[in-house]
C-alpha cells in the first residue's frame, strides 16, 4: 500500500512539472492572444447618430427610426486597454440608444442593448467645443468653407418699378377764344410734335376783331399824341392775352393785313397722348391736345419701411427691362413720398431716368436696384454660413485637420451679394463653413446635451452607487411600450 502511494505521488509531481514547463515555454500564449484580440474587436466600436434627431445613437449602421435618414458615424473609439499609452480608465457605461442613460457597471440599457464603455480621454474630448470629423464623413456631409473677407459694406435694395410720364413736361393745348377749326395738322394720338410746328387752323371772330383793333391803333399812332401810343400798347396786349406771340404781332404790323383764320403752333415738344379736337366749333378753354415729353421719364417704386434708411435723395439707381436684358439704365432718386401704405407697409419713391431713344415707355414694369454704401471697410461672411437661433448667431470656423469650432458672432447689417457684416467673433482670413454646417450644429448640440445629462446622472450615481443604472431621458421623450 505504501509502495503504490509512493509511485502515485511521484507520478503526480512529474505531471505537474511537465505542465509548469509548458507554461514557461509559452505554449498557451496563442490562446491568450486570441482572447485579447477578441476582447479588442468587441470593444472597438463606431457609434452612429441622426443629423435631424441627435438623441438617436446606436452602435451599428442603419436608418433613423424616426425620419428614416441614413445614420452618420460620429466617432471611433480605439478601446485596446493594453495600448502603448497604458491602460485607459473606464469612467462609466452609457446607452447607445438613449442619450443620458449611464451606469457605473457593465450591462444592458432599458431597451435591452449592451451599454458601451466611456473612457477618460473620450469624456475629455466630449467636453471640448471643437468638433473633429474624419475625411470620409466630411465628404459625405458635403462640408464647404469660404474665407472671411474685408471689404466695403454696401446694402442693395431691389424692387420693381413702374415707368410713367414726367409730370412737369406735360402740356395742354387750349384756346382762350371761341372759334371754328378749319383744318387739323395733327390728327391722331401718339404723333410726335415739336415746338413751333402747326397743329390746327382756327377762325375766331374775337381774334379777328383784336387784329383789326391793333391795326387801327397802329395807323393812328403819332409821336405827338401820347394817347394814341397808349391805345396801340393796349391793342398789342390784348393779342398777347389770346396767346399771340410777339413775332406774330410784329409780322401783323409789317403786313398791315388781318388774318381771317390763324394757324396755332405747338407750344412744346412731345407726343400727343390725348386728342379731343375735330374740325368744327370749339369753345374757349377746351383742352384740344395733351402733350407729353418723353425725353425724361419718372419711375415709381415701392420700398419696404425697413429699407427706407438706405434710400437718399440724389442716390443713383440702375434699371433693367425684360425686353432689353442687356441694357442698363442709370437714374437718380428725386423724391421720397412722406407716407407709408398701411396695407403693404411700403413707401413710394420717385426716380428720374433719361430717355433720349424713347426705349422707356410709360406703363412698363422694370427691375430697379438701389445701392447704398454703409462703410468703406467691414468684415463680411456669406449669409449661408450663419446659423440663427433666436438672438444667438453661430458660425463654424475650420481649424484644419478636420476640426471645426462653433463661435457666437455679433452681426451687423446685411450687405450685397448675400453677405453679412460680422462685428465680432471671427477675424479676416479665417474660413467658415457655408455647407454642411447644420450637421456640425447637430453634433455640437448633441455634445452639449449629453454633457449636461451626464453631469446630472453622475451626481445621482454617486449619491446612489448601489443602483445598477440611472435613466435620464430628454424632455418630451417616453419609453416605448413593451
Q: What is the pLDDT of residues 25-62, one digit of tens each?
A: 444 444 344 444 444 444 456 788 876 666 678 888 88
What pLDDT, on the 0 to 100 scale, is given for residue 99? 57
> For the segment 317-338, what is each residue's pLDDT rounded down to a tens digit?
999 999 898 999 999 999 999 9
* CA atoms of 74 and 179, how far apart (whole Å): 95
What pLDDT, on the 0 to 100 scale, is given for residue 100? 57
Mark which of 330, 352, 375 sits at the end of a domain.
Answer: 375
Same domain, 330 and 416: no
Same domain, 29 and 50: no
Same domain, 233 and 380: no
Same domain, 30 and 48: no
Pick the most confident of 96-105, 186-195, 225-234, 373-382: 186-195
Same domain, 315 and 279: no
Number of C-beta neighbours around residue 24 at 10 A: 8
In the predicted structure, residue 482 carries a pLDDT above the cut 50: no
Same domain, 269 and 279: yes
> Counting every residue, how long is the chain?
482
Q: Is residue 471 part of a domain?
A: no
Torsion (CA) 354, 356, 362, 365 in degrees, nearest 10: -60
Q: Is residue 223 very low, low, confident or very high in pLDDT (cuts 50, 70, 90)?
A: low
Q: Is residue 135 part of a domain?
A: no
Same domain, 119 and 161: no
Number of C-beta neighbours around residue 197 at 10 A: 12
Structural domain of residue 277, as residue ranges? 179-284
- Cell numbers for 283, please give them: 369753345
**Residue 331 near residue 321, CB atoms below 8 Å:** no
What pLDDT, on the 0 to 100 scale, is given for residue 288? 94
Same domain, 303 and 162: yes
Q: Is residue 265 part of a domain?
A: yes
In the predicted structure, residue 75 carries a pLDDT above the cut 80: no
C-alpha triplet 61, 67, 71: angle, nearest 5°: 20
CATH number of the structural domain spanning residue 397? 2.40.420.20
Same domain, 19 and 48: no
Pick the most confident of 183-192, 222-231, 232-241: 183-192
Same domain, 162 and 303: yes
* CA atoms of 224 and 86, how far apart (whole Å): 135
Q: Is residue 9 part of a domain?
A: yes
Same domain, 49 and 101: yes
Same domain, 434 and 450: no
**Region of poorest pLDDT, from 21-30, 145-154, 287-296, 314-323:** 21-30
Mean pLDDT score, 478-482: 42
> For the segment 449-464, what is each residue's pLDDT rounded down to a tens digit?
655 665 565 555 555 5
Cell match 471645426: residue?
Answer: 404
Mean pLDDT score, 1-11: 48
Q: Is residue 223 part of a domain?
A: yes
* CA atoms of 267 and 405, how far apart (whole Å): 73
Mean pLDDT estimate for the chain = 79
> With the C-alpha atoms ordered 57, 58, 64, 65, is the resulting torsion angle positive or negative?
negative
Q: Is residue 186 part of a domain?
A: yes
> How much of the chain is helix, strand and coil, in % rounded to 5?
30, 40, 35
Q: Is residue 399 part of a domain?
A: yes
Mean pLDDT score, 343-365: 95
Strands of 86-169, DSSP E: 90-94, 102-103, 116-119, 131-132, 144-147, 149-164
Pick the most confident of 135-144, 205-214, 394-403: 205-214
The number of folded domains in the chain is 5
- Cell numbers for 44, please give them: 472597438
Amino acid at each position: 500500500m505504501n509502495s503504490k502511494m509512493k509511485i502515485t505521488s511521484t507520478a503526480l509531481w512529474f505531471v505537474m512539472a511537465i505542465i509548469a514547463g509548458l507554461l514557461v515555454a509559452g505554449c498557451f500564449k496563442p490562446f491568450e492572444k486570441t482572447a485579447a484580440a477578441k476582447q479588442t474587436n468587441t470593444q472597438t466600436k463606431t457609434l452612429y447618430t441622426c443629423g435631424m434627431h441627435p438623441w438617436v445613437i446606436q452602435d451599428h449602421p442603419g436608418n433613423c427610426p424616426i425620419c428614416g435618414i441614413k445614420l452618420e458615424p460620429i466617432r471611433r473609439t480605439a478601446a485596446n486597454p493594453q495600448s502603448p499609452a497604458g491602460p485607459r480608465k473606464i469612467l462609466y457605461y452609457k446607452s447607445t440608444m438613449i442619450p443620458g442613460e449611464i451606469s457605473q457597471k457593465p450591462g444592458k440599457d432599458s431597451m435591452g442593448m449592451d451599454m458601451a464603455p466611456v473612457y477618460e480621454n473620450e469624456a475629455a474630448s466630449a467636453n471640448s467645443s471643437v468638433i473633429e470629423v474624419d475625411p470620409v464623413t466630411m465628404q459625405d456631409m458635403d462640408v464647404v468653407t469660404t474665407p472671411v473677407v474685408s471689404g466695403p459694406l454696401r446694402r442693395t435694395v431691389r424692387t420693381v418699378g413702374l415707368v410713367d410720364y414726367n409730370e412737369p413736361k406735360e402740356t395742354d393745348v387750349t384756346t382762350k377764344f371761341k372759334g371754328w377749326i378749319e383744318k387739323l395738322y395733327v390728327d391722331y394720338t401718339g404723333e410726335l410734335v415739336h415746338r413751333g410746328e402747326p397743329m390746327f387752323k382756327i377762325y375766331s371772330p374775337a381774334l379777328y376783331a383784336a387784329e383789326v383793333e391793333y391795326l387801327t391803333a397802329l395807323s393812328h399812332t403819332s409821336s405827338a399824341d401820347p394817347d394814341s401810343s397808349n391805345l396801340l400798347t393796349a391793342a398789342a396786349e390784348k393779342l398777347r392775352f389770346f396767346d399771340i406771340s410777339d413775332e406774330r404781332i410784329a409780322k401783323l404790323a409789317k403786313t398791315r393785313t388781318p388774318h381771317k383764320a390763324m394757324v396755332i403752333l405747338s407750344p412744346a415738344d412731345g407726343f400727343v397722348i390725348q386728342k379731343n379736337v375735330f374740325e368744327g366749333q370749339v369753345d374757349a378753354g377746351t383742352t384740344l391736345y395733351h402733350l407729353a415729353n418723353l425725353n425724361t421719364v419718372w419711375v415709381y417704386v415701392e420700398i419696404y419701411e425697413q429699407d427706407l434708411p438706405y434710400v437718399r435723395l440724389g442716390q443713383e439707381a440702375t434699371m433693367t427691362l425684360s425686353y432689353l436684358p442687356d441694357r442698363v439704365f442709370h437714374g437718380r432718386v428725386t423724391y421720397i413720398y412722406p407716407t407709408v401704405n398701411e396695407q403693404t407697409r411700403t413707401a413710394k419713391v420717385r426716380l428720374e431716368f433719361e430717355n433720349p431713344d424713347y426705349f422707356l415707355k410709360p406703363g412698363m414694369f422694370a427691375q430697379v436696384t438701389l445701392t447704398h454704401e454703409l462703410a468703406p471697410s467691414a468684415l463680411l461672411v456669406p449669409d449661408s454660413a450663419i446659423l440663427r437661433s433666436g438672438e444667438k448667431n453661430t458660425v463654424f470656423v475650420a481649424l484644419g485637420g478636420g476640426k471645426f469650432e462653433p463661435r457666437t458672432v455679433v452681426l451687423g447689417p446685411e450687405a450685397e451679394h448675400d453677405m453679412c457684416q460680422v462685428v465680432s467673433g471671427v477675424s479676416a482670413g479665417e474660413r467658415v463653413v457655408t455647407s454642411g454646417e447644420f450637421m456640425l450644429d447637430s453634433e455640437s448640440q448633441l455634445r452639449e446635451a449629453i454633457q449636461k445629462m451626464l453631469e446630472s446622472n453622475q451626481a445621482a450615481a454617486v449619491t446612489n452607487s448601489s443602483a445598477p443604472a440611472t435613466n435620464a431621458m430628454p424632455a418630451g421623450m417616453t419609453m416605448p411600450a413593451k
